[in-house]
Amino acid sequence: MRYKYILDKESLVYREEKITLLSILKKNNWIGVVGILLGICFWGISFFGVIESPKKFILENKGIVLVQNVSDVNAQFDLITNQLAQIQHKDDNLYRVISQMNPISQSIRQQGFGGVNSYSDLDGYQSSDLLIESNKRSDIISKQLDNQIQSFNNIFLSLKSLNDSLLAVPAISPVSPYDYHRISSPFGIRIHPISGKLQKHDGLDFAANIGKTIYATGNGIIKLVQKSNSGYGNRVDIQHEFGYKTVYAHLDLINVAKGDTVVRGQVIGTVGNTGTSTGPHLHYEVIYKRTKYNPRNYYINDLSSAEFNAMIDNFNSN
* CA 285 – CA 201 distance, rounded (Å): 10
What is the C-alpha to C-alpha distance for residues 168 and 297, in angstroms, rounded to an integer? 15
Q: What is the mean pLDDT of residues 287-294?
A: 92
Average pLDDT on 253-260 reads: 98
pLDDT of residue 43: 52
Specify the pLDDT at position 55: 47
Gap between the Cα atoms of 188 and 124, Å rounded? 84
Pairing of strands 244-254, 234-239: antiparallel
Helix (H) or strand (E) holding 13: strand 13-19
Hey, which CATH number is domain 180-317, 2.70.70.10, 3.30.470.30, 3.30.70.660, 3.90.870.30?
2.70.70.10
Whether residue 7 is predicted with pLDDT greater than 90 in this model: the reply is no
**Beta-carbon neighbour count of residue 187 at 10 Å?**
21
- Position 144: which residue type? Q
Higher-pLDDT residue of 117, 149: 149
Contact 248, 208 (CB under 8 A): no
Distance CA 144, CA 86 (A): 12
Is there a contact between 125 and 131 (Cβ–Cβ < 8 Å)? Answer: yes
What percent of the chain stands above pLDDT 70? 66
- Is 140 strand, coil or helix? helix
CA distance 135 to 120: 11
CB of 248 within 8 A of CB of 215? Answer: no
Interacting residues of 95 by C-beta distance below 8 A, sequence separation 6+: 152, 155
In eight-state DSSP terms, residue 188 is E
Strand, helix or coil at 281?
A: strand
Which pLDDT score is estimated for 124?
A: 62
Give pLDDT tens digits for 167-193.
Answer: 888 989 999 988 998 999 999 887 777
Instruction: For the beta carbon of residue 152, count every other beta carbon within 10 angstroms.
Output: 13
Lowest mean pLDDT segment, chosen from 16-25, 123-132, 260-269, 292-301: 16-25
- What are the angstrom distances between the C-alpha of 86 and each of 67, 79, 100, 207, 278? 29, 11, 20, 55, 64
* pLDDT 10s digits, 207-241: 999 999 999 999 999 999 999 999 999 999 999 98
- Cα 210 to Cα 252: distance, rounded to the nearest angstrom: 7
Intra-chain end-to-end CA distance of the chain, in Å: 113
What is the predicted pLDDT for the residue at 58?
A: 47
Give every CB contact of residue 209 below 8 A, 6+ residues apart in sequence.
179, 271, 280
Q: What is the pTM of this model?
A: 0.52
- How far apart CA 101 and CA 72 sit, in angstroms, is 38
CB atoms within 10 A of CB 293: 17
pLDDT value of residue 307: 77
Rg (CA), the chain: 48
